[in-house]
Amino acid sequence: CLVESMTEVERVVENLARWTSDAGACFVPLCDPALLAADVHIPYHTADRFHGGTVMITGVTWTWNEESGKQHRNMVAPHIEHMVNMFKKYFDAVELIEYPLGKPKQSPQRKAIIAKSKR
């Protein structure tokens, strides 16, 4: 969520893979776009009727305004399946896990990627 484009997200994933040792693992908590807007279906695929080809939305940008007035603007939340696929370029074992946001058994569960067996 701390970068402002999907290109930057891809660069972060590439850097994480490069920085992870061959015997290490990469743990990345995720922001699930489905939790941000339940009625937005991502990834979205459709045939482009005007230009040909396929349109694919792979994430959303969002802004969070804290009660204190502090703003976090233009944060990127890639679709989780898209994030998993980005990690699969660099790791043989990519697992999606869930864990509570805070208190035990709190809902909703937060998701994270654990990537191992660097290629």
- Expressed in percent and rounded to 5, the helix, strand and coil fractions of the chain are 25, 40, 35
What are the angstrom distances between the C-alpha of 89 and each of 13, 44, 55, 119? 10, 22, 22, 8
DSSP 56: E
Task: Read off the pTM.
Answer: 0.72
Query: For residue 98, how many other CB atoms are within 10 A of its CB?
Result: 10
The Cα–Cα gap between 31 and 26 comes to: 16
pLDDT digit string, tens, across residues 25-59? 999 988 777 666 666 565 566 666 666 777 777 77
Query: What residue type is assigned to position 118 of the chain?
Result: K
- The overall average pLDDT reported for the chain is 82
